[in-house]
Amino acid sequence: AQSVTQLGSHVSVSEGALVLLRCNYSSSVPPYLFWYVQYPNQGLQLLLKYTSAATLVKGINGFEAEFKKSETSFHLTKPSAHMSDAAEYFCAVSEASSYKLIFGSGTRLLVRP
């Protein structure tokens, strides 16, 4: 069965520092991968997605993620954190033969002034 592991339920960074949120997946075939962001009291919003076109994927709000097949990873990064980035982030995986997204347990990003 597929699974997604997000390392660290909470990540705290200073404003202006690098953001790195980790995601590892298990999949027997090349997957489709997603990062979603959830702001307080809101639904999930798609940040970016990997669908095999390019290994480095750029998303909204300055975020990007790199697909590394050898490491089965899809870590999310942003060079410089803003206060407005404070939210919960979810990594999700889907296989081409599947019809649902499987989500990780989420990482809450805290940004310190």
Partner 1 sequence: EAQVTQNPRYLITVTGKKLTVTCSQNMNHEYMSWYRQDPGLGLRQIYYSMNVEVTDKGDVPEGYKVSRKEKRNFPLILESPSPNQTSLYFCASSLTVQGATNYGYTFGSGTRLTVV
Residues with Cβ within 8 Å of 59's Cβ and at least 6 positions away in sequence, in order, are 35, 46, 47, 48, 49, 65
* Chosen residue from 14, 45, 55, 61 binding partner 1 by CB under 8 A: 45
Which residue, 77 or 98, has its beta carbon nearer to partner 1?
A: 98
> Helix (H, G, I), strand (E, B), or coil: what is residue 55?
coil
Record the tokens describing residue 42, joined without a space. Answer: 């809101």
34 binds partner 1 (CB under 8 A): yes
Record the tokens describing residue 36, joined without a space. Answer: 């979603």
Smallest separation (angstroms) from partner 1 to the CB of 2: 11
- Identify residues 49-108 at the interface with partner 1 (CB under 8 A): 49, 51, 90, 92, 94-96, 98-101, 103-106
Residues with Cβ within 8 Å of 13's Cβ and at least 6 positions away in sequence, in order, are 19, 81, 109, 110, 111, 112
Residues forming the site for partner 1 (CB under 8 A): 4, 6, 9, 32, 34, 36, 41-46, 49, 51, 90, 92, 94-96, 98-101, 103-106
